Amino acid sequence: MKMNGAKILIESLKKEGVEVIFGYPGGQVLPIFDALYDAPVKLILTRHEQAAAHAADGYARATGKTGVCLATSGPGATNLVTGIATAYMDSVPMVAITGQVKSFLIGNDAFQEADITGITRPITKHNYLVEDIKDLARIVKEAFHIASTGRPGPVLIDLPSDIQMQEAEFVYPEKVDLRGYKPTYKGHPGQIKRAAKAISEAKRPILYVGGGAIISGASEEVRDLAIKNDIPVTMTLLGLGAFPMDHKLSLGMLGMHGTAYANHSIMESDLIISVGARFDDRVTGKVDEFAPHAKVIHIDIDPASVSKSVEVDIPIVGDAKTILKHLIKAVKKPDTKDWLKRVEDWKAKHPLKYKDDGKIKPQYVLEEIWRATKGEAIICTEVGQHQMWAAQFYKFTNPRTMISSGGLGTMGYGFPAAIGAQIGKPRATVFDIAGDGSIQMNIQELATAVINKLPVKVIILNNGYLGMVRQWQELFYKKRYSYTTLCGTCPDFVKLAESYGAVGIRVTKKSEIKAAIEKAIKTDKCVFVDVCIEEEENVYPMVPAGQAINKMLGGGLA
């Protein structure tokens, strides 16, 4: 059947099973919006294109499906950039569609023209400028394939508006043929054997689990491997949820703000079994001093992640779930009794703690949220102190429940991501843990949450500071709080929420927390809970930049 480019795009999205996209209209996507007017594909109108990209990202992380966002050319497209970069760093499957000026105007500095394929080249897994209507269906097919397979990532399709209006026969390709793209899924049997032997012989093994385990759907296998063989498990920020944090083998998060016992354990281990993690600098600290006694098994679908920052002894390239299944069968249980005792000692000696002195402590708020939700909620976060407290004090138990910008560290991510997550998981209880700084970076999305009746619960841990930067200034810049004070300049978040039609709750006393959280959970509307917390509370433990990760402030020494 013949149809125009805009219709071909929508039909292709339908073929990919897309039910919802996030976007914002504009001059160069008018034909697409016209096609969307009576299409079964629903568009969620955000109030900023950046939020559309983050919402598509949150949707993707919560559901495992590919998130789709749509914006017009020029400023619409450039507003997506932060969201695309965020998704790229955290390996989130996303297809971003941008309108472009008419083909014959490209390169002319036309109105609202930006070279978005050029701009996004280093932050996309791949991108396309559609030059011929005949290529459109194939490009959409390839884009979804590339975005969702191998190490997932964002793919951008730039679609000039004249091509949106040209007509062609719609034929959706059955399969993709890309000679330059053949991701490896099955792990090398010889390497798996070597890994199994290393695990069986290890005295002090540790599982180091990252976001790749969640993407791969390998949580069950991680649990199996750990529990059957008595191997303690530590997770990266994005790995949280891959293994239940309330299990006795869980060491919680490691790294710069990881638990002292996770950091001590990995530093003293003789075997690191890395599953879908990439030895990021926030995890390793000073890389030359990282885990000096450990052999490293690295399971990763991206060969470029292997031996990038840490020398790997046994690399296994492939899909984590598939590899772990084989590995579990081949491992003979190592004797870790003494090791677990040492780990237990560290746990007992250096627990996560905070001084509960009557003021509202952010850690306490997170603990209460955890108690109220039994660890079953989807927790999105912004970026900063509150993010680290969430990672430390909310005991994640299920995969795809921790949604946070890890690699890029994007403030303003959490609220739109929570909107996307809630749309993808309508029955889930979705929180956005925010700070008074971060929430103001995409606060306009209150409108999106209200109009779509999304009961997202935003907890603003309000300390009147850009807290994480203030903490660094306190510790390393002699308390010169240069431009990090927001106190007295924040809007009244309660009234602000109400003005959009959301519910606002303010908490100034510790005794009010429980009731406020319960009310937020019961409310079937978007809720802002403005919690006035201790202003100068710090995130501990903390590994100062460039130090070995067992040299923690506030974590006790080994």
Partner 1 sequence: MKHTISVLVENKFGVLARISGLFSARGFNISSLAVGETEDPTVSRMTIVVEGDDRTLEQIKKQLNKLIDTIKVVDFKEGEFVDRELILVKVAVSPKTRKEVLEAIESIGACIENAGSKSISVSATGDHTKIKALLELLRPFGIMEVVRTGRIAMSTEDKGLKVEGKPEVNE
Residues 6+ apart with CB under 8 A from 209: 222, 233, 234, 235, 236, 239, 242, 243, 274, 275, 276, 277
Identify the residue among 35, 68, 129, 240 touching partner 1 (CB under 8 A): 129
Binding of partner 1 at residue 281 (CB under 8 A)? no
- Tokens matching residue 232: 């303690």
For residue 121, CA distances in Å to 29, 117, 132, 274, 544 come to 21, 6, 20, 29, 33
* Shortest distance in whole angstroms from residue 70 CB to partner 1: 22
Residue 407 interacts with partner 1 (CB under 8 A): yes or no: no
Expressed in angstroms, the distance from the first to the final Cα of the chain is 70
Applying CB under 8 A, among 75, 171, 186, 487 the residue interacting with partner 1 is: 186
CB of 187 to partner 1, least distance (A): 7
Nearer to partner 1, 131 or 474 (CB): 131
Q: Is 48 in the site for partner 1 (CB under 8 A)?
A: no
By CB under 8 A, is residue 132 in contact with partner 1? no
CB of 103 to partner 1, least distance (A): 13
Question: Per CB under 8 A, which region of 23-31, 182-190, 222-230, 368-376 contacts partner 1?
Answer: 182-190
**Contact between 107 and partner 1 per CB under 8 A:** no
Strands (E) in 84-153, as ranges, are 94-100, 126-129
x/- letters, 300..319, toward partner 1 (CB under 8 A): --xxx-xxx--------xx-
Q: Least distance from C-beta 215 to partner 1, angstroms?
A: 17
Give CA–CA dist 340/273, Å, rounded.
16
Shortest gap between Cβ of 149 and partner 1 (angstroms)?
11
Residue whose CB is less far from partner 1, 139 or 513: 139
HSE, side-chain direction, 13 A CA sphere, residue 447:
9
**Judged by CB under 8 A, which of 121, 332, 353, 371 binds partner 1?**
121
Verify binding: residue 131, partner 1, rule CB under 8 A.
yes
Which range in 95-103, 120-128, 167-175, 546-554 contacts partner 1 by CB under 8 A? 120-128
Query: Residue 435: beta bridge partners?
Result: 461
Site track 144-163 with partner 1 (rule: CB under 8 A), x = hit:
--x-----------------
146 or 390, CB closer to partner 1? 146
The single residue among 63, 112, 184, 398 that binds partner 1, judged by CB under 8 A, is: 184
Kindly tell me which residue out of 12, 117, 149, 422 binds partner 1, with binding defined by CB under 8 A. 117
Q: For partner 1, which residue of 179, 427, 478, 522 counts as binding (CB under 8 A)?
A: 179
In DSSP notation, 436-491 reads TTGGGGSGGGHHHHHHTT---EEEEEE-SB-HHHHHHHHHHSTT--TT-B-TTTS-
Closer residue to partner 1 (CB): 175 or 427:
175
Nearer to partner 1, 188 or 342 (CB): 188
Cα separation, 297 vs 327, whole angstroms: 12
Report the SS3 class of residue 235: strand
List CB contacts of 545: < 8 A, sequence separation 6 or more.
none
Q: How far is CA 236 from CA 208, 258, 259, 276, 402, in A?
A: 8, 9, 11, 10, 11
> Which of 182, 329, 337, 522 contacts partner 1 by CB under 8 A?
182
Structure tokens belonging to residue 121: 């080249």
Q: Which amino acid is at 228?
A: K
Indicate whether 2 belongs to the interface with partner 1 (CB under 8 A): no
Q: Cβ 229 to partner 1, closest distance in Å?
A: 24
Nearer to partner 1, 123 or 272 (CB): 123
Q: How far is the CB of 189 from partner 1 (least distance, A)?
A: 9
- Name the minimum Å distance from CB 316 to partner 1: 8
* Residue 358 exposed, middle or buried by CB count within 10 Å (0-12, 13-18, 19+): exposed
Cα distance between residue 491 and residue 493, in whole Å: 6
Other Cβ atoms closer than 10 A to 338: 10
Using the Cα atoms of residue 512, residue 514, residue 515 and residue 516 in order, give the sign of their dihedral: positive
Please identify, among the stretches 101-109, 174-182, 200-208, 448-456, the one whose residues bind partner 1 according to the rule CB under 8 A. 174-182
Q: Taking CB under 8 A as the rule, does residue 104 contact partner 1?
A: no
Rounded to whole angstroms, the Cα distance separating 547 from 540 reads: 15
In the complex, least distance from residue 61 CB atom to partner 1, rounded to whole angstroms: 22
Which helix (H) or strand (E) segment holds residue 52: the answer is helix 49-63
Can you give the binding site for partner 1, defined by CB under 8 A? Answer: 117-118, 121-122, 125-126, 129, 131, 146, 178-182, 184, 186-188, 191, 302-304, 306-308, 317-318
